[in-house]
Amino acid sequence: MPEAIVPKTSGGRPSTFADLDDYTVAPHEFIKADSQFLMRDIAVGHAFLALLEALRASAEFDLTEDGEIKATVALAEEEKTARLRSAQSSWDVSKAWYEEAEEKVIESWKRYSVNAWARREGREPIDWEQHDAQHERVSA
């Protein structure tokens, strides 16, 4: 099972870009290559080296210790704003669904988001079996 994406700060609606999880704040990955394969074809190797020279002059460049080459481009301010707004909207919707669970049945497709929000906020996740049983009694 994949590791959950966890915000940098837990509890509360994200208010700044720095509050968002590492995945959301990550720069655009422009290129990622395993250097051991670059010299299989000398023409490809030369072309890639020329690209690397251009990248060094124009973008954030990172050469990892294991030989992996990765070039990234920082997010524009507009993208940061859009990502923050998206995270805020997601937080608002999940909170509303959590609060609605006391009054009405929550559709199955919303349930993972509701309980993920509850855990991040330090609240008790909803026991869906109990929730469904309670709402069946109310509607009967």
According to DSSP, residue 65 is labeled: T
Question: Is the residue at 101 inside a domain?
Answer: yes
Question: Is the residue at 23 inside a domain?
Answer: no
pLDDT at 3: 45
Residues 88 and 134 in one domain: yes
The answer to whether residue 111 scores a pLDDT higher than 90 is yes
pLDDT at 54: 85
Residues 64 and 85 in one domain: no
Are 52 and 33 in contact, with CB atoms under 8 Å apart? no
Number of domains composing the chain: 2
Q: What range defines the domain where residue 135 resides?
A: 77-139
* Residue type for position 59: A
Residues 124 and 82 in one domain: yes
pLDDT tens figures, 78-97: 999 999 999 999 999 999 99
Task: Map tokens 């010299």 to a residue.
Answer: 39
76 phi and psi angles, rounded to 5 deg: -75, 155
Residues 68 and 85 in one domain: no
Q: Rounded CA gap, 85 and 79, in Å?
A: 10
The answer to whether residue 64 scores a pLDDT higher than 60 is no
